[in-house]
């Protein structure tokens, strides 16, 4: 690259400086870096960021801007269309190349392909990198050349590339920023924060940004990793990593998680079983992206096509009761209130609330997925789709349909002294509603519906 060269680094959901391949390449190859965020949610199709995600994004961009400023660069913010914004910044800075880290959701991947073509047409070089996954979706297939549909053989096929992952790169010590001539936007102008301020619970529970991600991972490895194998099923205990929103926004990457776990295995005896279980959870995230890439319709359609004929029983009143935590099943309602307050829900409880909605209440799984999409700070299209289809019984490697969680038994097993329920449902003994359905009768109705699609006699709802 010639003397005085400038590269645009197009930030998206890779909001970190450490182990950021696009940024590292730009710092290595160019004299100046134009760090750019383009706000174009309409280019994300039907899955634009929900309210909780927008709150997180605002604060994560603030932290990224501070980190860049401390190293000599500014974060420039523009509105879309993305291609027009990139071309404008290239004209202002004289940049000849644009670097970015890949995303994999169908609408975003299609947009990125259009952007790459537009850059090429304009005489600019676009280059993309992998910052988000250990194994990209197209890098592994079955012996027959097909995408994987079952997790265990998928993760086994990833063992060699995972074992050979390089150590993560540190953040650059300094970044020579490029100046822009046209005024950019202040983050507040993007309208990411709610007009009616409801987010106090999110702010109390989370620290968005790269440093918050690193601190949380370190605390998890020190205090909870060794017991993760058992502790991950206990919503009453602080024994999960809670790094999912940080991973979604790219404030930390999976290579950094892998390195931290490896270090913990060396430094702390007894981390073995917990470490392997945690890495399998990272593997499930990889599997989710593999599935969504190869089966893009599954964001709204069941992978198991028989379930397109499942006799759902849409009931707005039941859906609203579930959303508001008023189903009459304490652990379900506690989970839904934890979600509303903090933007997060323990994974065991996610399975319980999803089972109740899709099986006992027979509400379409997409309705649950869309509610989670708007309310979760870790709303990730691939993981959200995999989780809901797994619980509904219609996805890859799904739980058998007849596996219907009993909320009372689940609470007794995983919240044995009731502390989780008491924390999020303190009013359970005051004006608490009766159960919206009878568990045994609704279970029988769900199984009857499954029998119809299995026999091929059900009609679409």
Whether 210 contacts 18, CB under 8 Å: yes
Per the residue annotation, which of 62, 92, 229, 312 is the catalytic one?
A: 312
Cβ within 8 Å of residue 316, ≥6 positions away = none
Instruction: Please indicate whether residue 347 is annotated as part of the active site.
Output: yes
List strand residue ranges (DSSP E) for 242-309, in order. Answer: none
Q: Which two tokens stand for residue 392?
A: 């509904």
Cβ within 8 Å of residue 273, ≥6 positions away = 229
Per the residue annotation, which of 371, 388, 390, 424 is the catalytic one?
A: 388
Instruction: Please indicate whether residue 198 is annotated as part of the active site.
Output: no
Per the residue annotation, which of 44, 127, 284, 301 is the catalytic one?
A: 284
Per the residue annotation, which of 229, 315, 347, 406 is the catalytic one?
A: 347
β-partners of residue 39 are 79
Instruction: Please indicate whether residue 312 is annotated as part of the active site.
Output: yes
Per the residue annotation, which of 322, 344, 365, 371 is the catalytic one?
A: 365
Instruction: Please indicate whether residue 130 is annotated as part of the active site.
Output: no
d(CA 15, CA 209) in angstroms, rounded, equals 7
45-51 own/partner pairs: CB under 8 Å, 24+ apart: 45/106, 45/107, 45/108, 46/107, 46/299, 46/300, 47/105, 47/107, 47/299, 47/373, 47/381, 49/379, 50/373, 50/374, 50/375, 50/376, 50/379, 51/194, 51/374, 51/375
Q: Which two tokens stand for residue 76?
A: 């420039």
Biggest CA–CA distance in the chain, Å, is: 74
| Residues acting as catalytic residues | 281, 284, 312, 347, 365, 388
């Amino acid at each position: 690259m010639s003397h005085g060269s400038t590269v645009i680094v197009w930030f998206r959901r890779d909001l970190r400086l450490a182990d950021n391949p696009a940024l590292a390449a730009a710092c290595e190859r160019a004299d100046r870096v134009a760090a750019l965020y383009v706000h174009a949610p309409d280019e994300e199709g039907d899955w634009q960021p929900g309210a909780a995600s927008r709150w997180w994004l605002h604060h994560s961009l603030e932290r990224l801007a501070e980190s860049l400023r401390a190293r000599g660069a500014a974060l420039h913010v523009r509105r879309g269309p993305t291609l027009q914004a990139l071309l404008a910044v290239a004209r202002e800075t004289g940049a000849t190349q644009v670097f970015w880290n890949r995303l994999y959701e169908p609408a975003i991947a299609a947009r990125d392909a259009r952007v790459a073509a537009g850059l090429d047409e304009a005489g600019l070089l676009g280059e993309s990198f992998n910052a988000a996954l250990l194994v990209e979706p197209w890098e592994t297939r079955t012996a027959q050349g097909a995408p994987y549909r079952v997790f265990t053989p998928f993760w086994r096929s990833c063992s060699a590339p995972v074992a050979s992952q390089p150590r993560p790169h540190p953040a650059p010590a300094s970044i020579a920023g490029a100046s822009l001539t046209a005024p950019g936007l202040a983050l507040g102008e993007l309208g990411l924060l709610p007009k009616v301020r409801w987010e106090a619970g999110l702010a109390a529970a989370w620290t968005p940004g790269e440093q918050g991600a690193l601190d949380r991972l370190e605390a998890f490895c020190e205090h909870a990793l060794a017991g993760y194998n058992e502790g991950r099923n206990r919503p009453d205990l602080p024994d999960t990593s809670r790094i999912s929103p940080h991973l979604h926004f790219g404030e930390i990457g999976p290579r950094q998680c892998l390195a931290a776990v490896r270090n913990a295995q060396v430094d702390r005896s007894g981390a073995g079983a917990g470490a392997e279980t945690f890495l399998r959870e990272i593997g499930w995230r990889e599997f989710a992206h593999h599935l969504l890439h190869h089966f893009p319709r599954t964001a709204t359609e069941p992978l198991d096509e028989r379930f397109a004929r499942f006799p759902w029983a849409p009931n707005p009143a039941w859906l609203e009761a579930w959303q508001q935590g008023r189903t009459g099943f304490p652990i379900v309602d506690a989970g839904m209130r934890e979600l509303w307050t903090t933007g997060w829900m323990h994974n065991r409880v996610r399975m319980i609330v999803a089972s109740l909605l899709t099986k006992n209440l027979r509400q379409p799984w997409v309705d649950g997925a869309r509610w989670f999409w708007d309310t979760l700070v870790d709303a990730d299209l691939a993981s959200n789709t995999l989780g809901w289809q797994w619980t509904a019984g219609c996805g890859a490697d799904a739980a058998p349909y007849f596996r219907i969680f009993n909320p009372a038994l689940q609470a007794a097993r995983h919240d044995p002294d009731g502390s989780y329920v008491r924390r999020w449902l303190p009013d359970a003994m005051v004006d608490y509603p009766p159960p919206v359905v009878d568990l045994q009768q609704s279970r029988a109705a769900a199984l009857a519906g499954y029998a119809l699609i299995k026999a091929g006699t059900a009609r679409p709802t």
